[in-house]
Amino acid sequence: MVKSMREAHLRSSWASPDTAYEEVMLGFVRDALDISRPNAFLNAFFPFQERIARHGSRNSIVQTTLKLTLPGVPDIYQGAELWDLSLVDPDNRRPVDYQSRIELLGQVSAQLRRDRHTAMHDMLEEWQDGRAKLSVIATLLGHRRDHPKLFAEGSYEPLIATGAKADQICAFARRYQENVLIVVALRFPLRLETDHDWTGTEIPWPQAAVNQTHWRDLFGGRVVERHRAGVGVEAVLGNMPVAALVPDNRGHREA
């Protein structure tokens, strides 16, 4: 069957469907995903899938953070407040379960109020339910609501990391008058599996904010202290893929 299909043209489209080819492909996929019998493919695939999905969730959080903090007007597709694995139209036209999102947002908000640092850590560890992404969206939209001119009129300053792993960091500052936000995001998270050492990799601080020594991360609540003109990446990110730092006038106390 497969050979005969090869002899025919192996293409199928909306305008010119090849139903025989499609049935062969669907049969192959069904056999590959069959859990009713011992399946060597799935035994080999699941560990790889879990590893890639975990890193993919962190990349999604990075992308969401950048979308909500870079210059421009952010757009969140309805229903995409959690993980959304849908494809293009018409797959992404399914009804959105707003009630479940409202309930989950209430739970996430309560967790963050009780202990932001622990809550974010737990959400990243249990990333499958999408709470980590929802908490990032809620946190940054709340900051945008409270500081509208920072995002509507604020300046943008790229912060070029230095050191051996400088290419693994994307960082920038937004500033409007005395209001400053510094965003640091991780790139290429898979590289950290074999090399966790950030020694020597630093992020320069914007000149307009060098007098402020203590900064608080909006996501995890941890306080970062800047001793020189820059600060080490590990001190900023810890185990997080992103950080959104604002001046902390409470000194060295950790939120």
Residue-wise pLDDT for 66-92, tens only, equals 999 999 989 888 888 999 887 766 666
What pLDDT, on the 0 to 100 scale, is given for residue 4?
46
Q: Are residues 179 and 118 in the same domain?
A: no
Which one has a higher pLDDT value, 219 or 254?
219
Q: Are residues 110 and 177 in the same domain?
A: no
Residue 115 lies in a domain: yes
Q: End of a domain among 146, 176, 210?
A: 146
Q: Based on the structure, what is the number of domains in the chain?
A: 2
pTM of the model: 0.84
Task: Locate all alpha helices (DSSP H) within 147-220, ordered by sequence.
Answer: 148-152
What pLDDT, on the 0 to 100 scale, is given for residue 155?
94
Q: pLDDT per residue over 208-242, tens digit each? A: 676 778 899 999 998 988 777 778 999 999 889 99
Q: Which domain holds residue 83?
A: 49-146
Assign 14 a pLDDT band (cuts: 50, 70, 90): confident
Q: Are residues 157 and 76 in the same domain?
A: no
Give the percent of the chain with pLDDT over 90.
Answer: 62
CA angle centred on 223, ends 218 and 228, rounded to 5°: 120
What is the domain-level CATH number for residue 155?
Answer: 2.60.40.1180
The CA distance from 99 to 191, in Å, is: 38
The CA distance from 101 to 193, in Å, is: 33
Residue 121 lies in a domain: yes
Residue 138 lies in a domain: yes
Token output for 92:
């992404």
Residue 126 lies in a domain: yes
Look at residue 56 and tell me whether its pLDDT is greater than 80.
yes
Residue 53 lies in a domain: yes
Q: Average model confidence (pLDDT) for the chain? A: 87
> Per-residue pLDDT averaged across 44-50, rounded?
92
What pLDDT, on the 0 to 100 scale, is given for residue 65?
97
Q: End of a domain among 146, 180, 198?
A: 146
The CA distance from 232 to 198, in Å, is: 8
Q: Are residues 218 and 171 in the same domain?
A: yes
Residue 4 lies in a domain: no
Are the beta carbons of 252 and 225 closer than 8 angstroms?
yes
Give the percent of the chain with pLDDT over 70.
Answer: 91
Q: pLDDT per residue over 136-181, tens digit each? A: 999 999 999 999 999 999 999 999 999 999 999 999 999 998 899 9
